Structure 1
Protein backbone atom coordinates (compact mmCIF):
# COMPACT_ATOMS: atom_id res chain seq x y z
CA UNK A 1 0.00 0.00 0.00
CA UNK A 2 1.24 3.48 -0.91
CA UNK A 3 2.65 5.02 2.31
CA UNK A 4 0.99 8.38 1.55
CA UNK A 5 -2.46 6.83 1.20
CA UNK A 6 -4.92 7.89 3.89
CA UNK A 7 -6.79 5.01 5.47
CA UNK A 8 -10.22 4.50 6.93
CA UNK A 9 -10.16 1.42 9.15
CA UNK A 10 -13.37 -0.61 9.17
CA UNK A 11 -13.68 -2.68 12.35
CA UNK A 12 -15.90 -5.74 12.45
CA UNK A 13 -16.37 -8.13 15.38
CA UNK A 14 -17.76 -11.51 14.39
CA UNK A 15 -19.01 -14.56 16.28
CA UNK A 16 -20.31 -17.90 15.07
CA UNK A 17 -23.92 -16.91 14.37
CA UNK A 18 -22.84 -13.91 12.26
CA UNK A 19 -20.19 -15.70 10.16
CA UNK A 20 -22.65 -16.62 7.35
CA UNK A 21 -23.39 -12.91 6.80
CA UNK A 22 -19.73 -11.87 6.49
CA UNK A 23 -19.47 -12.34 2.68
CA UNK A 24 -22.30 -9.85 2.13
CA UNK A 25 -20.60 -7.29 4.36
CA UNK A 26 -17.39 -7.86 2.38
CA UNK A 27 -19.19 -7.40 -0.93
CA UNK A 28 -20.59 -4.08 0.28
CA UNK A 29 -17.08 -2.89 1.18
CA UNK A 30 -15.66 -3.84 -2.20
CA UNK A 31 -18.06 -1.55 -4.05
CA UNK A 32 -17.25 1.53 -1.95
CA UNK A 33 -15.82 4.33 -4.12
CA UNK A 34 -13.55 6.46 -1.93
CA UNK A 35 -12.24 10.00 -2.54
CA UNK A 36 -8.83 10.31 -4.20
CA UNK A 37 -5.97 9.46 -1.86
CA UNK A 38 -8.06 7.23 0.42
CA UNK A 39 -8.23 3.46 0.88
CA UNK A 40 -10.01 1.20 3.32
CA UNK A 41 -8.68 -1.63 5.42
CA UNK A 42 -10.95 -4.16 7.06
CA UNK A 43 -10.12 -5.42 10.56
CA UNK A 44 -12.20 -8.56 11.13
CA UNK A 45 -12.00 -9.89 14.68
CA UNK A 46 -13.27 -13.40 15.43
CA UNK A 47 -14.48 -13.41 19.02
CA UNK A 48 -13.93 -16.79 20.67
CA UNK A 49 -12.97 -18.54 17.46
CA UNK A 50 -10.21 -18.94 14.89
CA UNK A 51 -9.08 -16.80 11.97
CA UNK A 52 -9.61 -19.78 9.66
CA UNK A 53 -13.36 -19.56 10.27
CA UNK A 54 -13.38 -16.55 7.92
CA UNK A 55 -13.61 -17.80 4.34
CA UNK A 56 -10.42 -17.93 2.30
CA UNK A 57 -11.74 -15.68 -0.47
CA UNK A 58 -12.15 -12.89 2.11
CA UNK A 59 -8.78 -13.50 3.78
CA UNK A 60 -6.90 -13.41 0.48
CA UNK A 61 -7.73 -9.74 -0.10
CA UNK A 62 -4.68 -7.75 1.02
CA UNK A 63 -6.90 -5.04 2.52
CA UNK A 64 -8.45 -7.54 4.93
CA UNK A 65 -6.71 -8.28 8.23
CA UNK A 66 -8.30 -11.08 10.23
CA UNK A 67 -7.57 -11.60 13.91
CA UNK A 68 -9.01 -13.72 16.71
CA UNK A 69 -9.26 -13.56 20.47
CA UNK A 70 -10.63 -15.68 23.31
CA UNK A 71 -14.29 -14.98 23.96
CA UNK A 72 -14.69 -11.46 25.30
CA UNK A 73 -17.86 -10.12 23.78
CA UNK A 74 -18.42 -7.47 21.11
CA UNK A 75 -16.80 -4.57 22.98
CA UNK A 76 -13.58 -6.50 23.50
CA UNK A 77 -13.55 -7.74 19.91
CA UNK A 78 -14.10 -4.23 18.51
CA UNK A 79 -11.27 -2.84 20.63
CA UNK A 80 -8.96 -5.68 19.63
CA UNK A 81 -9.70 -5.00 15.95
CA UNK A 82 -9.07 -1.29 16.42
CA UNK A 83 -5.77 -2.10 18.16
CA UNK A 84 -4.52 -3.61 14.89
CA UNK A 85 -5.70 -0.72 12.71
CA UNK A 86 -3.67 1.92 10.87
CA UNK A 87 -6.33 4.41 9.81
CA UNK A 88 -6.87 8.00 10.90
CA UNK A 89 -10.62 7.30 10.68
CA UNK A 90 -12.35 4.28 12.22
CA UNK A 91 -15.63 3.03 10.78
CA UNK A 92 -17.96 0.60 12.53
CA UNK A 93 -19.43 -2.27 10.50
CA UNK A 94 -21.12 -5.20 12.19
CA UNK A 95 -20.59 -8.57 10.53
CA UNK A 96 -24.26 -8.97 9.67
CA UNK A 97 -24.77 -5.45 8.26
CA UNK A 98 -24.32 -3.94 4.80
CA UNK A 99 -22.89 -0.60 3.64
CA UNK A 100 -24.83 1.02 0.78
CA UNK A 101 -22.77 2.54 -2.03
CA UNK A 102 -21.19 5.86 -1.07
CA UNK A 103 -21.36 5.36 2.69
CA UNK A 104 -17.61 5.56 3.36
CA UNK A 105 -17.11 8.45 0.94
CA UNK A 106 -19.73 10.54 2.73
CA UNK A 107 -18.08 9.92 6.12
CA UNK A 108 -14.70 10.96 4.73
CA UNK A 109 -16.07 14.05 3.01
CA UNK A 110 -17.70 15.32 6.22
CA UNK A 111 -14.55 14.76 8.25
CA UNK A 112 -12.41 16.57 5.69
CA UNK A 113 -14.83 19.50 5.40
CA UNK A 114 -15.35 19.92 9.16
CA UNK A 115 -12.10 19.44 11.13
CA UNK A 116 -13.80 20.13 14.47
CA UNK A 117 -16.24 17.24 14.02
CA UNK A 118 -15.04 14.15 15.88
CA UNK A 119 -17.55 11.59 14.66
CA UNK A 120 -20.35 10.99 12.18
CA UNK A 121 -23.52 8.91 12.14
CA UNK A 122 -26.07 8.53 9.38
CA UNK A 123 -29.52 7.40 8.39
CA UNK A 124 -30.03 3.63 8.74
CA UNK A 125 -32.56 1.22 7.32
CA UNK A 126 -33.45 -2.07 8.99
CA UNK A 127 -32.75 -5.03 6.70
CA UNK A 128 -35.53 -7.49 7.41
CA UNK A 129 -35.30 -11.31 7.05
CA UNK A 130 -37.35 -11.16 3.84
CA UNK A 131 -34.87 -8.72 2.29
CA UNK A 132 -37.11 -5.65 2.61
CA UNK A 133 -35.85 -2.38 4.08
CA UNK A 134 -37.60 -0.40 6.80
CA UNK A 135 -36.65 2.88 8.37
CA UNK A 136 -34.95 2.70 11.77
CA UNK A 137 -37.68 3.20 14.38
CA UNK A 138 -36.38 6.38 16.05
CA UNK A 139 -36.85 9.66 14.21
CA UNK A 140 -33.76 11.13 12.54
CA UNK A 141 -32.43 14.55 13.51
CA UNK A 142 -31.88 17.20 10.86
CA UNK A 143 -28.85 16.58 8.68
CA UNK A 144 -25.80 18.49 9.82
CA UNK A 145 -24.08 19.37 13.07
CA UNK A 146 -24.87 17.45 16.27
CA UNK A 147 -23.83 19.86 19.01
CA UNK A 148 -21.75 18.40 21.81
CA UNK A 149 -24.00 17.06 24.59
CA UNK A 150 -27.11 16.70 22.41
CA UNK A 151 -27.04 12.91 22.15
CA UNK A 152 -26.06 12.53 25.82
CA UNK A 153 -29.05 14.63 26.92
CA UNK A 154 -31.42 12.45 24.88
CA UNK A 155 -29.88 9.24 26.26
CA UNK A 156 -30.19 10.34 29.90
CA UNK A 157 -34.00 10.47 29.60
CA UNK A 158 -34.58 7.48 27.31
CA UNK A 159 -31.51 5.21 27.69
CA UNK A 160 -31.65 4.93 23.91
CA UNK A 161 -29.66 7.01 21.41
CA UNK A 162 -31.53 9.21 18.94
CA UNK A 163 -29.07 8.22 16.20
CA UNK A 164 -27.87 4.75 15.24
CA UNK A 165 -24.54 3.77 16.91
CA UNK A 166 -23.91 1.04 14.32
CA UNK A 167 -23.30 3.82 11.75
CA UNK A 168 -20.42 5.50 13.61
CA UNK A 169 -17.29 6.79 11.90
CA UNK A 170 -14.76 8.27 14.34
CA UNK A 171 -11.49 10.13 14.21
CA UNK A 172 -8.88 7.73 15.54
CA UNK A 173 -7.49 10.35 17.91
CA UNK A 174 -10.91 10.90 19.52
CA UNK A 175 -11.51 7.15 19.81
CA UNK A 176 -8.15 6.79 21.56
CA UNK A 177 -9.12 9.44 24.11
CA UNK A 178 -12.41 7.63 24.71
CA UNK A 179 -10.49 4.41 25.40
CA UNK A 180 -12.15 2.31 22.71
CA UNK A 181 -15.28 0.34 23.44
CA UNK A 182 -16.44 -0.60 26.94
CA UNK A 183 -16.15 -4.29 27.89
CA UNK A 184 -19.91 -4.88 28.04
CA UNK A 185 -21.93 -7.86 26.78
CA UNK A 186 -24.08 -5.41 24.77
CA UNK A 187 -24.68 -1.64 24.38
CA UNK A 188 -20.94 -1.07 24.00
CA UNK A 189 -21.61 0.86 20.78
CA UNK A 190 -24.20 3.05 22.51
CA UNK A 191 -21.77 3.64 25.37
CA UNK A 192 -19.10 4.79 22.92
CA UNK A 193 -21.54 7.02 21.03
CA UNK A 194 -22.64 8.82 24.18
CA UNK A 195 -19.03 9.18 25.34
CA UNK A 196 -18.00 10.66 21.99
CA UNK A 197 -20.89 13.10 22.21
CA UNK A 198 -19.59 14.75 25.37
CA UNK A 199 -16.08 14.94 23.90
CA UNK A 200 -16.68 16.43 20.45
CA UNK A 201 -19.33 17.66 18.05
CA UNK A 202 -20.79 15.08 15.69
CA UNK A 203 -22.46 15.20 12.31
CA UNK A 204 -25.61 13.49 11.06
CA UNK A 205 -25.55 12.44 7.40
CA UNK A 206 -29.05 12.40 5.98
CA UNK A 207 -28.40 9.84 3.24
CA UNK A 208 -28.78 6.16 4.12
CA UNK A 209 -25.40 4.77 5.14
CA UNK A 210 -26.28 1.39 6.65
CA UNK A 211 -28.59 -1.55 6.15
CA UNK A 212 -28.92 -2.93 9.69
CA UNK A 213 -29.83 -6.60 9.54
CA UNK A 214 -32.55 -7.90 11.84
CA UNK A 215 -32.30 -11.60 12.69
CA UNK A 216 -32.86 -13.86 15.74
CA UNK A 217 -29.14 -14.42 16.40
CA UNK A 218 -28.18 -10.77 16.88
CA UNK A 219 -27.15 -9.42 20.28
CA UNK A 220 -30.05 -6.96 20.42
CA UNK A 221 -32.53 -9.85 20.15
CA UNK A 222 -31.39 -11.31 23.49
CA UNK A 223 -33.99 -11.40 26.29
CA UNK A 224 -31.73 -9.31 28.58
CA UNK A 225 -31.08 -6.55 26.08
CA UNK A 226 -33.74 -4.05 27.12
CA UNK A 227 -34.44 -4.80 30.77
CA UNK A 228 -33.47 -6.61 33.96
CA UNK A 229 -30.43 -6.58 36.19
CA UNK A 230 -27.92 -6.93 33.35
CA UNK A 231 -29.45 -3.97 31.53
CA UNK A 232 -29.36 -1.88 34.72
CA UNK A 233 -25.67 -2.68 35.22
CA UNK A 234 -24.85 -1.84 31.59
CA UNK A 235 -26.65 1.50 31.81
CA UNK A 236 -24.96 2.22 35.14
CA UNK A 237 -21.50 1.57 33.72
CA UNK A 238 -22.20 3.79 30.71
CA UNK A 239 -23.57 6.57 32.89
CA UNK A 240 -20.56 6.56 35.22
CA UNK A 241 -18.11 6.59 32.31
CA UNK A 242 -19.87 9.40 30.47
CA UNK A 243 -20.45 11.52 33.58
CA UNK A 244 -16.70 11.41 34.27
CA UNK A 245 -15.95 12.46 30.70
CA UNK A 246 -18.55 15.24 30.88
CA UNK A 247 -16.75 16.72 33.87
CA UNK A 248 -13.38 16.38 32.19
CA UNK A 249 -14.60 18.05 29.00
CA UNK A 250 -16.49 20.72 30.96
CA UNK A 251 -19.88 19.78 29.57
CA UNK A 252 -21.54 20.13 32.99
Structure 2
Protein backbone atom coordinates (compact mmCIF):
# COMPACT_ATOMS: atom_id res chain seq x y z
CA UNK A 1 0.00 0.00 0.00
CA UNK A 2 1.38 3.39 -1.00
CA UNK A 3 1.98 5.90 1.77
CA UNK A 4 1.13 9.50 0.97
CA UNK A 5 2.74 12.84 1.73
CA UNK A 6 0.18 15.62 1.22
CA UNK A 7 1.69 18.86 -0.05
CA UNK A 8 -0.59 21.83 0.68
CA UNK A 9 -0.32 25.04 -1.30
CA UNK A 10 -2.46 28.17 -0.93
CA UNK A 11 -2.36 30.46 -3.94
CA UNK A 12 -3.60 33.98 -4.66
CA UNK A 13 -3.41 36.00 -7.84
CA UNK A 14 0.09 37.46 -7.25
CA UNK A 15 1.60 33.98 -6.84
CA UNK A 16 -0.15 32.21 -9.72
CA UNK A 17 2.66 32.90 -12.25
CA UNK A 18 5.10 30.98 -10.03
CA UNK A 19 3.02 27.78 -9.78
CA UNK A 20 4.65 26.04 -12.79
CA UNK A 21 8.09 26.32 -11.19
CA UNK A 22 6.78 24.95 -7.88
CA UNK A 23 5.16 22.10 -9.83
CA UNK A 24 8.38 21.29 -11.67
CA UNK A 25 10.29 21.13 -8.38
CA UNK A 26 7.65 18.81 -6.91
CA UNK A 27 7.68 16.47 -9.92
CA UNK A 28 11.47 16.18 -9.68
CA UNK A 29 11.37 14.85 -6.10
CA UNK A 30 12.46 11.24 -5.58
CA UNK A 31 10.70 9.66 -2.62
CA UNK A 32 11.66 6.55 -0.65
CA UNK A 33 10.19 3.25 -1.83
CA UNK A 34 6.51 2.89 -0.97
CA UNK A 35 5.84 6.65 -0.85
CA UNK A 36 4.15 9.09 -3.22
CA UNK A 37 2.91 12.66 -2.96
CA UNK A 38 -0.37 14.42 -3.63
CA UNK A 39 -0.60 18.16 -4.21
CA UNK A 40 -3.54 20.05 -2.71
CA UNK A 41 -3.71 23.49 -4.33
CA UNK A 42 -6.22 25.92 -2.84
CA UNK A 43 -7.07 29.05 -4.83
CA UNK A 44 -7.96 31.78 -2.34
CA UNK A 45 -10.51 34.21 -3.76
CA UNK A 46 -10.34 32.79 -7.28
CA UNK A 47 -11.37 29.75 -9.30
CA UNK A 48 -9.89 26.30 -9.83
CA UNK A 49 -9.47 27.17 -13.50
CA UNK A 50 -6.98 29.90 -12.56
CA UNK A 51 -4.46 27.06 -12.17
CA UNK A 52 -2.80 26.11 -15.48
CA UNK A 53 -4.46 23.15 -17.21
CA UNK A 54 -1.30 21.03 -17.39
CA UNK A 55 -1.05 21.17 -13.58
CA UNK A 56 -4.73 20.35 -13.05
CA UNK A 57 -4.49 17.37 -15.39
CA UNK A 58 -1.87 15.55 -13.26
CA UNK A 59 -3.65 12.77 -11.39
CA UNK A 60 -1.71 13.56 -8.21
CA UNK A 61 -2.98 17.15 -8.13
CA UNK A 62 -6.29 18.19 -6.55
CA UNK A 63 -7.29 21.84 -6.94
CA UNK A 64 -9.92 23.59 -4.85
CA UNK A 65 -11.08 27.17 -4.41
CA UNK A 66 -12.77 29.26 -1.77
CA UNK A 67 -14.00 32.80 -1.23
CA UNK A 68 -11.19 35.07 -0.10
CA UNK A 69 -10.17 34.07 3.39
CA UNK A 70 -6.43 34.64 3.55
CA UNK A 71 -3.56 32.16 3.66
CA UNK A 72 -4.52 30.49 6.93
CA UNK A 73 -8.01 29.68 5.68
CA UNK A 74 -6.68 28.46 2.31
CA UNK A 75 -4.08 26.20 3.93
CA UNK A 76 -6.68 24.66 6.24
CA UNK A 77 -9.09 24.14 3.34
CA UNK A 78 -6.36 22.37 1.35
CA UNK A 79 -5.49 20.17 4.34
CA UNK A 80 -9.19 19.32 4.75
CA UNK A 81 -9.07 17.57 1.37
CA UNK A 82 -5.82 15.69 2.04
CA UNK A 83 -5.29 11.92 2.40
CA UNK A 84 -1.68 11.70 3.57
CA UNK A 85 -0.13 10.72 6.89
CA UNK A 86 2.40 13.54 6.49
CA UNK A 87 1.52 17.11 5.51
CA UNK A 88 4.15 19.26 3.81
CA UNK A 89 3.91 23.03 3.38
CA UNK A 90 4.82 24.49 -0.02
CA UNK A 91 3.95 28.07 -0.89
CA UNK A 92 2.97 28.67 -4.50
CA UNK A 93 5.95 30.92 -5.17
CA UNK A 94 8.60 28.66 -3.58
CA UNK A 95 10.76 25.85 -4.94
CA UNK A 96 11.78 22.47 -3.48
CA UNK A 97 15.43 21.52 -4.07
CA UNK A 98 16.32 17.93 -4.82
CA UNK A 99 15.82 15.52 -1.92
CA UNK A 100 13.67 17.82 0.21
CA UNK A 101 10.68 15.51 0.63
CA UNK A 102 12.80 12.37 1.02
CA UNK A 103 14.72 13.92 3.92
CA UNK A 104 11.46 14.79 5.72
CA UNK A 105 10.19 11.26 5.30
CA UNK A 106 13.46 9.70 6.42
CA UNK A 107 13.49 11.72 9.66
CA UNK A 108 9.87 10.89 10.44
CA UNK A 109 10.41 7.19 9.84
CA UNK A 110 13.63 7.07 11.89
CA UNK A 111 12.25 9.07 14.84
CA UNK A 112 8.63 8.14 15.66
CA UNK A 113 8.48 10.59 18.59
CA UNK A 114 9.23 13.57 16.34
CA UNK A 115 6.05 15.33 15.27
CA UNK A 116 7.36 17.81 12.73
CA UNK A 117 10.42 18.91 10.79
CA UNK A 118 11.86 22.15 9.45
CA UNK A 119 15.02 22.68 7.46
CA UNK A 120 17.63 25.10 6.23
CA UNK A 121 16.10 27.66 3.85
CA UNK A 122 17.70 29.69 1.10
CA UNK A 123 16.08 32.93 -0.04
CA UNK A 124 15.53 32.94 -3.80
CA UNK A 125 16.23 36.52 -4.85
CA UNK A 126 14.70 38.30 -7.90
CA UNK A 127 17.99 37.94 -9.80
CA UNK A 128 17.93 34.16 -9.27
CA UNK A 129 20.67 34.09 -6.64
CA UNK A 130 20.30 32.11 -3.41
CA UNK A 131 21.00 33.74 -0.03
CA UNK A 132 21.01 31.94 3.32
CA UNK A 133 17.97 32.84 5.44
CA UNK A 134 19.27 35.53 7.78
CA UNK A 135 18.15 34.32 11.23
CA UNK A 136 20.75 31.56 11.27
CA UNK A 137 20.17 27.88 11.99
CA UNK A 138 20.02 25.73 15.12
CA UNK A 139 22.18 22.65 15.39
CA UNK A 140 20.90 19.79 13.23
CA UNK A 141 18.80 17.21 14.99
CA UNK A 142 16.09 17.24 17.62
CA UNK A 143 14.33 20.44 18.69
CA UNK A 144 13.05 20.03 22.24
CA UNK A 145 9.48 21.04 23.04
CA UNK A 146 9.18 24.69 24.00
CA UNK A 147 12.57 25.66 22.55
CA UNK A 148 11.19 27.77 19.70
CA UNK A 149 8.48 29.33 21.85
CA UNK A 150 11.12 30.54 24.33
CA UNK A 151 12.90 32.33 21.48
CA UNK A 152 9.73 33.79 19.98
CA UNK A 153 8.43 35.08 23.31
CA UNK A 154 11.38 37.48 23.57
CA UNK A 155 11.84 38.37 19.87
CA UNK A 156 8.43 37.81 18.18
CA UNK A 157 10.37 36.16 15.37
CA UNK A 158 10.53 32.44 14.57
CA UNK A 159 13.93 30.85 15.17
CA UNK A 160 13.45 28.61 12.10
CA UNK A 161 11.57 29.09 8.84
CA UNK A 162 7.92 27.95 9.11
CA UNK A 163 7.55 27.76 5.31
CA UNK A 164 9.60 24.54 5.42
CA UNK A 165 7.29 22.62 7.81
CA UNK A 166 6.46 18.93 7.43
CA UNK A 167 3.96 17.63 10.01
CA UNK A 168 2.43 14.35 11.06
CA UNK A 169 -1.21 14.66 10.01
CA UNK A 170 -2.48 13.44 13.38
CA UNK A 171 -0.57 16.23 15.15
CA UNK A 172 -1.84 18.84 12.69
CA UNK A 173 -5.38 17.68 13.36
CA UNK A 174 -4.85 18.05 17.09
CA UNK A 175 -3.46 21.57 16.54
CA UNK A 176 -6.56 22.47 14.51
CA UNK A 177 -4.83 23.51 11.30
CA UNK A 178 -3.78 27.09 10.67
CA UNK A 179 -5.09 30.17 12.48
CA UNK A 180 -7.30 32.49 10.40
CA UNK A 181 -4.80 35.35 10.31
CA UNK A 182 -3.95 37.66 7.38
CA UNK A 183 -0.28 36.63 7.79
CA UNK A 184 1.99 34.79 10.28
CA UNK A 185 -0.40 31.83 10.34
CA UNK A 186 2.54 29.55 9.62
CA UNK A 187 4.44 30.98 12.59
CA UNK A 188 1.39 30.42 14.78
CA UNK A 189 1.26 26.77 13.75
CA UNK A 190 5.02 26.34 14.19
CA UNK A 191 4.80 27.56 17.80
CA UNK A 192 1.81 25.34 18.54
CA UNK A 193 3.64 22.30 17.18
CA UNK A 194 6.76 23.25 19.14
CA UNK A 195 4.81 23.14 22.40
CA UNK A 196 2.94 19.94 21.53
CA UNK A 197 5.77 17.72 20.26
CA UNK A 198 9.50 17.55 19.65
CA UNK A 199 10.66 18.64 16.22
CA UNK A 200 13.71 18.08 14.04
CA UNK A 201 15.96 20.49 12.16
CA UNK A 202 17.40 19.24 8.87
CA UNK A 203 20.64 21.02 8.02
CA UNK A 204 20.46 20.46 4.25
CA UNK A 205 18.62 23.18 2.32
CA UNK A 206 15.05 21.98 1.75
CA UNK A 207 13.40 25.12 0.41
CA UNK A 208 14.14 28.03 -1.88
CA UNK A 209 11.96 30.85 -0.52
CA UNK A 210 11.18 33.32 -3.26
CA UNK A 211 11.44 37.04 -2.49
CA UNK A 212 9.18 39.23 -4.65
CA UNK A 213 7.02 42.35 -4.23
CA UNK A 214 3.69 40.47 -4.36
CA UNK A 215 4.33 38.15 -1.41
CA UNK A 216 2.40 38.51 1.84
CA UNK A 217 5.53 39.25 3.86
CA UNK A 218 6.26 42.28 1.64
CA UNK A 219 3.10 44.06 2.84
CA UNK A 220 3.82 47.24 4.86
CA UNK A 221 1.76 45.97 7.83
CA UNK A 222 3.68 42.73 8.11
CA UNK A 223 6.27 43.79 10.69
CA UNK A 224 4.67 46.63 12.60
CA UNK A 225 1.54 48.59 13.45
CA UNK A 226 -1.87 47.68 14.83
CA UNK A 227 -2.35 44.63 12.63
CA UNK A 228 1.03 43.21 13.62
CA UNK A 229 0.27 43.77 17.31
CA UNK A 230 -3.07 41.98 16.98
CA UNK A 231 -1.47 39.05 15.13
CA UNK A 232 1.24 38.69 17.74
CA UNK A 233 -1.38 38.95 20.48
CA UNK A 234 -3.49 36.15 18.98
CA UNK A 235 -0.44 33.93 18.42
CA UNK A 236 0.76 34.55 21.97
CA UNK A 237 -2.61 33.75 23.54
CA UNK A 238 -2.96 30.55 21.55
CA UNK A 239 0.55 29.34 22.32
CA UNK A 240 0.35 30.26 26.00
CA UNK A 241 -2.85 28.23 26.33
CA UNK A 242 -1.06 25.23 24.83
CA UNK A 243 1.92 25.77 27.14
CA UNK A 244 -0.38 25.58 30.15
CA UNK A 245 -1.69 22.25 28.86
CA UNK A 246 1.41 20.58 27.46
CA UNK A 247 4.32 22.24 29.31
CA UNK A 248 2.92 23.40 32.66
CA UNK A 249 6.39 23.57 34.24
CA UNK A 250 7.58 26.40 31.95
- The total of aligned residue pairs comes to 249
Aligned to 1:113: 110
Question: Does the aligned pair in 1 maintain the 2:146–2:247 contact within 8 Å?
Answer: no
| C-alpha deviation, 1:193, in angstroms | 0.2
Q: Quote the Cα distance in structure 2 between the aligned partners of 1:28 and 1:250.
A: 38
Q: What does the per-residue CA deviation read over 1:43-89, in whole Å, with 9 as the maximum and x for residues that have no partner?
A: 00000000000000000000000000000000000000000000000
Report SS of the residue matched to 1:117. coil
Does residue 227 (structure 1) correspond to residue 224 (structure 2)? The answer is yes
Q: Quote the Cα distance in structure 1 between the aligned partners of 2:31 and 2:113.
A: 21
Tell me which of 144, 156, 166 is aligned to 2:153. Answer: 156
Does residue 217 (structure 1) correspond to residue 214 (structure 2)? The answer is yes
| C-alpha deviation, 1:247, in angstroms | 1.0
Tell me which of 9, 14, 24 is aligned to 2:11. Answer: 14
Tell me which of 55, 60, 64 is aligned to 2:61. Answer: 64
TM-score, normalization by structure 2: 0.99
Q: What does the per-residue CA deviation read over 1:166-215, in whole Å, with 9 as the maximum and x for residues that have no partner?
A: 00000000000100000000000000000100000000000000000000
Aligned alpha-carbon RMSD (Å): 0.5
Q: What does the per-residue CA deviation read over 1:108-157, in whole Å, with 9 as the maximum and x for residues that have no partner?
A: 00000000000000000000000000000101000000000000000000
Report SS of the residue matched to 2:59. coil
Aligned to 1:26: 23
| C-alpha deviation, 1:25, in angstroms | 0.2
Tell me which of 116, 120, 126 is aligned to 2:123. Answer: 126
TM-score, normalization by structure 1: 0.98
Aligned to 1:201: 198
Q: Quote the Cα distance in structure 1 between the aligned partners of 2:189 and 2:108.
A: 18
Q: Quote the Cα distance in structure 2 between the aligned partners of 1:157 and 1:24.
A: 37
Q: Quote the Cα distance in structure 1 between the aligned partners of 2:242 and 2:4.
A: 28
Does residue 97 (structure 1) correspond to residue 100 (structure 2)? The answer is no
User: Runs of at least 4 residues of structure 1 off by over 6 A?
Assistant: none
Aligned to 1:183: 180
Report SS of the residue matched to 2:201. strand
Does residue 240 (structure 1) correspond to residue 237 (structure 2)? The answer is yes
Tell me which of 126, 131, 136 is aligned to 2:133. Answer: 136
Q: Quote the Cα distance in structure 1 between the aligned partners of 2:99 and 2:63.
A: 24
Q: Quote the Cα distance in structure 2 between the aligned partners of 1:143 and 1:250.
A: 23
| C-alpha deviation, 1:250, in angstroms | 2.8
Report SS of the residue matched to 2:115. strand
